[in-house]
Chain A
Amino acid sequence: MDTQLALWEVFIQKKSGGDHTHCGSVHASDSAMALQNARDIYTRRNEGSSIWVIPSQFVTASKAEDADMLFDPADDKIYRHPTFYVMPEGAKQI
């Protein structure tokens, strides 16, 4: 029998307005305990202004072997980047 409780993924928002970034996981029996544990483990040095926790079993991840198929198509679309374009000499703030 596993005595370690379920795994939860922890996302911390560093400062107000920013993204919640994944920082690790904790064990807990429910969301309140997960929040408490996340607070104790991941925010001892003012790292956070907000915490999200979600049960790890609900994370669906892409497979490493699919990475080429998923992300290669962007490689030859360099025109999606502003640096692709030739700007006339002297033009400012563009």
Chain B
Amino acid sequence: MNTTLDIHSFQEKLDKDYNIEPKDVMPDDYRKHLIRQISQHAHSEVIGMQPEGNWISRAPSLRAKQILLAKIQDEGGHGLYLYSACETLGISRDELIEQLHEGKAKYSNIFNYPSLTWADIGAIGWLVDGAAIVNQVSLQRTSFGPYARAMVRICKEESFHQRQGYEIMATMMNGTKEQREMAQDAMNRWWWPSLMMFGPHDSDSPHSGKAFEWKIKLKSNDELRQKFIDKTVQQAEVIGLTIPDAQLKWNEDKQGYDHGEINWDEFKRVINGNGPCNKQRMDHHKKYHAEGAWVREAAAAYAETISKI
């Protein structure tokens, strides 16, 4: 039970912008909110390896293949940082994976879209990782210490991810007509889902209120989305890509772009399990998790043997 005094000191820490550490007293709902958010973030890193893994064997050069392998390896590492941070809140890795498999925990909706061409690898690095970076930079100052520190590490590593994606897009835009069309097609398919990554509009965001009070969240969905759009439009223009939004327009007053309405019906449809790849992503994760059971069993048996020596 949290005593009034404990809550007071929790609140006092938040007020003074001190971080909350795993052994500090915290309200149950704060803990629950963080477990939900950090585990969703961890699952996203791991599930996000699938659309990119799809292109390892078909990367157009050895250079491209090495880079893609290194990037996917990073995503696995990011998943591990985040699972570990989440476990400090008193939940086990097994429970987290179980929640994913039972559909109780989610992962980022963006990974329910397929990677159809090589240009998609460019678009994922540039747009999807670009959007993730905007969110993660803000989370470096989130109130829970282990989460904040994981974000600092992840942000340092993400910078290469976004640049390799943008380099792919720039290279294709300097290529043949077919390559330019392929890059634009990837742009057209990934732009809107990337904007959806920031979540519903502020007026319609179910988890935001408490998250702001607790300083887990520091910037709103719409603020972060705006930041992403404002920096990405210029990057698209420089390499000759068109943003697939007829209503996109510079707004002098707000010193930012106005954009067209996001298709929230699609967002809801995909998040509720009816996107192009939801089933494929989960089936894949479950299959390989089950196939790896013998490794976990062997490790546990070894640990038990060692403990008896």
CA distance A94 to B161 in the complex (A): 11
Stretch at the interface among B42-50, B234-242, B262-270: B234-242
Is A37's CB within 8 Å of the partner chain B? Answer: no
Tell me how far the C-beta of B133 lies from the nearest C-beta in chain A, rounded to whole angstroms. Answer: 10
Stretch at the interface among B94-102, B104-112, B163-171, B280-288: B163-171
Per a CB cutoff under 8 Å, which of B70, B145, B162 touches A94? B162
Contacting residues, chain B, for A77 (C-beta < 8 A): 66, 70
Is B219's CB within 8 Å of the partner chain A? Answer: no
CA distance A88 to B160 in the complex (A): 15
**Would you call the interface of chain A mostly helix, strand, loop, or mixed?**
loop
B239 adjacent to A80 (CB under 8 Å): no
B145 adjacent to A91 (CB under 8 Å): no
Is A81's CB within 8 Å of the partner chain B? Answer: yes
CA distance A61 to B7 in the complex (A): 40
Contacting residues, chain B, for A87 (C-beta < 8 A): 163, 166-167, 170
Tell me how far the C-beta of B130 lies from the nearest C-beta in chain A, rounded to whole angstroms. Answer: 8
Is B58's CB within 8 Å of the partner chain A? Answer: no
B163 adjacent to A85 (CB under 8 Å): yes
Contacting residues, chain A, for B239 (C-beta < 8 A): 88, 91
CA distance A30 to B141 in the complex (A): 35
B19 adjacent to A17 (CB under 8 Å): yes
B19 adjacent to A16 (CB under 8 Å): yes
B234 adjacent to A91 (CB under 8 Å): yes
CA distance A19 to B141 in the complex (A): 13
Contacting residues, chain B, for A81 (C-beta < 8 A): 160
Tell me how far the C-beta of B296 lies from the nearest C-beta in chain A, rounded to whole angstroms. Answer: 22
A92 adjacent to B160 (CB under 8 Å): no
Per a CB cutoff under 8 Å, which of A79, A80, A82, A91 touches B238? A91
Is A59's CB within 8 Å of the partner chain B? Answer: no
Closest to B166 in A: A94
CA distance A92 to B236 in the complex (A): 10
CA distance A86 to B167 in the complex (A): 7
CA distance A50 to B238 in the complex (A): 48
Tell me how far the C-beta of B147 lies from the nearest C-beta in chain A, rounded to whole angstroms. Answer: 10
Contacting residues, chain B, for A84 (C-beta < 8 A): 160, 163
Asked, given contacts A50-B21, A85-B163, whether A90 binds B149 with beta carbons under 8 Å apart, the answer is no
CA distance A94 to B235 in the complex (A): 8
Tell me how far the C-beta of B305 lies from the nearest C-beta in chain A, rounded to whole angstroms. Answer: 19
Tell me how far the C-beta of A48 lies from the nearest C-beta in chain B, rounded to whole angstroms. Answer: 13
CA distance A79 to B67 in the complex (A): 6
Per a CB cutoff under 8 Å, which of B157, B170, B235 touches A93? B235
Tell me how far the C-beta of A15 lies from the nearest C-beta in chain B, rounded to whole angstroms. Answer: 9
Contacting residues, chain A, for B167 (C-beta < 8 A): 85-87
B166 adjacent to A91 (CB under 8 Å): yes
Closest to B235 in A: A91
Contacting residues, chain A, for B166 (C-beta < 8 A): 85, 87-88, 91, 94
Is B18's CB within 8 Å of the partner chain A? Answer: yes
B145 adjacent to A92 (CB under 8 Å): no
Closest to A81 in B: B160
Interface residues of A in 40-68 (CB under 8 A from B): 49-50
Closest to A76 in B: B66
11 extra interface residue pairs, beta carbon distance < 8 Å, beyond A85-B160, A87-B170, A94-B166: A16-B17, A16-B19, A17-B18, A17-B149, A79-B66, A80-B157, A86-B167, A89-B238, A91-B234, A92-B231, A92-B234
Q: Can you list 27 A-B pairs, Cβ within 8 angstroms, ordered by A?
A: A16-B17, A16-B19, A16-B145, A17-B18, A49-B18, A77-B66, A77-B70, A79-B66, A79-B67, A80-B160, A84-B160, A85-B160, A85-B163, A85-B166, A86-B167, A87-B163, A87-B166, A87-B167, A88-B166, A89-B238, A91-B166, A91-B170, A91-B234, A91-B238, A91-B239, A92-B231, A94-B163
